[in-house]
A and B are shown apart, each in its own frame.
Chain A
Amino acid sequence: MNHQSRMMCCLGSLAVALLLKAGCAHASLLPWSALQGRSVVLVTGRHDASVPNDDALVRAHLQALGLRVTTVTDAAPAMEAAGASLIVISSTADANVLGDKYARTPVPVFTWDTHDYPNLGLTGPRLHHDYDVVDPVQHFAESFSVLYGYGANSTSQLSRAAGLKPQLFGTLYLEPATVGWGHPGPGGRVIVDFNGTPRQAGVFTYERDATLADGRTAPARRVGFYLSDANFHLLTAVHGPAARDPQLRDWYRGLALFDAAIRWALSPPPPLPIYDPAALQARIARIAHGRKILFVERINAGEGRHADAAIVAHLQQLGFDVVIADQMAPQSRADGMNLVIISSTCSKYKLANKYVDVKAPLISLEGLLSDTLHFAGRDRYADYGEHGEEKESEDPPTRYLDIVGAWSPMAAGLPPGPVQVTGHAGVLKWARPTADAIVIATLPGEAYQRAIFGYPAGATMADGFVAPARRALLPLDNPTYDDLTVQGKALFDAVVLWALGGSAAAH
Chain B
Amino acid sequence: MLRSHLRPALATLLLALPGRGVGAPAPAAAFPLQVLRRVPVTAPGTPRALAFAADGRRAYLAVGRAIVAYDAASAVPTDRLVLSGRAVDLAVAAGGDRAYAALRDPDAIAVLSLQPLRVLRTWRLPVAPSALLAGADGRALYVESTAAGRVLELDAASGRALGSLHLDGRLQQMAANGYGHLFVAVADRDVVDVLDTHTLRLAGTFPVPCTAPTGLALDPVGRRLFVSCTKGAVAVIDTDIGYTFQQLPAASGSTRGLFVFHPEGKAGWKGAAFFAGARGTLSAVRMLAFIRYADGGTLSLPAGSEVLAFDPARGQLWVAQSKPAGASAAAGTLLIFGAAPVTGARP
Residues in A lying within 8 Å of B, measured CB to CB: 32, 49-52, 54, 56-57, 60-61, 63-66, 136, 173-178, 230-231, 233-234, 236-244, 248, 252, 259
Q: Do the beta carbons of A64 and B241 come within 8 Å of each other? A: no
Q: Do the beta carbons of B205 and A230 come within 8 Å of each other? A: no
Nearest 5 Cβ contacts at the A-B interface: A239-B242, A240-B242, A240-B204, A241-B203, A52-B19
- Separation of A178 and B23 alpha carbons in the complex (Å): 11
Task: Tell me, rounded to whole Å, the shortest Cβ–Cβ distance linking A371 to chain B.
Answer: 40
In the bound complex, residues from chain B placing their C-beta under 8 Å from that of A178 are 22
In the bound complex, residues from chain A placing their C-beta under 8 Å from that of B241 are 237-240, 242-243, 248, 252
CB closest residue in chain B, given A50: B24
In the bound complex, residues from chain B placing their C-beta under 8 Å from that of A252 are 241, 243
Q: Mark B270-303, 1 if CB is under 8 A from A, else 0.
A: 0000000000000000000001100000000000
Cβ contact of A231, chosen from B3, B22, B240, B292, cutoff 8 A: B22
Q: Do the beta carbons of B204 and A244 come within 8 Å of each other? A: yes
Q: Do the beta carbons of A177 and B205 come within 8 Å of each other? A: no
Task: Tell me, rounded to whole Å, the shortest Cβ–Cβ distance linking A16 to chain B.
Answer: 38
Cβ contact of B13, chosen from A50, A56, A230, cutoff 8 A: A56
Q: Do the beta carbons of A56 and B291 come within 8 Å of each other? A: no
Q: Is B9 an interface residue (CB 8 A)?
A: yes
- Given A32-B2, A238-B243, A233–B22 Cβ distance below 8 Å? no
* A contacts with B: majority SS: loop
Q: Do the beta carbons of B196 and A241 come within 8 Å of each other? A: yes
Cβ contact of B181, chosen from A66, A175, A238, A241, cutoff 8 A: A241
In the bound complex, residues from chain B placing their C-beta under 8 Å from that of A57 are 10, 13-14, 17
Q: Do the beta carbons of A61 and B17 come within 8 Å of each other? A: no
- Separation of A49 and B9 alpha carbons in the complex (Å): 22
Q: Do the beta carbons of A242 and B240 come within 8 Å of each other? A: yes
Q: Is B253 an interface residue (CB 8 A)?
A: no
Pick 30 A–B contacts, CB within 8 A, sort by A: A52-B17, A52-B21, A52-B23, A57-B14, A61-B9, A63-B9, A64-B5, A64-B6, A66-B2, A173-B238, A173-B243, A173-B245, A178-B22, A230-B21, A230-B22, A231-B21, A233-B10, A233-B14, A233-B20, A234-B245, A239-B241, A240-B194, A240-B239, A240-B242, A241-B181, A241-B194, A241-B204, A242-B204, A243-B241, A244-B203
Q: Is B207 an interface residue (CB 8 A)?
A: yes
- Separation of A102 and B13 alpha carbons in the complex (Å): 29
- Separation of A61 and B3 alpha carbons in the complex (Å): 9
- Given A57-B14, A64-B6, A65-B2, A239–B20 Cβ distance below 8 Å? no
- Separation of A237 and B194 alpha carbons in the complex (Å): 17
- Chain B stretch 14-32: residues in CB contact (< 8 A) with chain A: 14, 16-25
Q: Mark B23-52, 1 if CB is under 8 A from A, else 0.
A: 111000000000000000000000000000
Q: Do the beta carbons of A64 and B204 come within 8 Å of each other? A: no
- Separation of A242 and B242 alpha carbons in the complex (Å): 8
Q: Do the beta carbons of A243 and B204 come within 8 Å of each other? A: yes
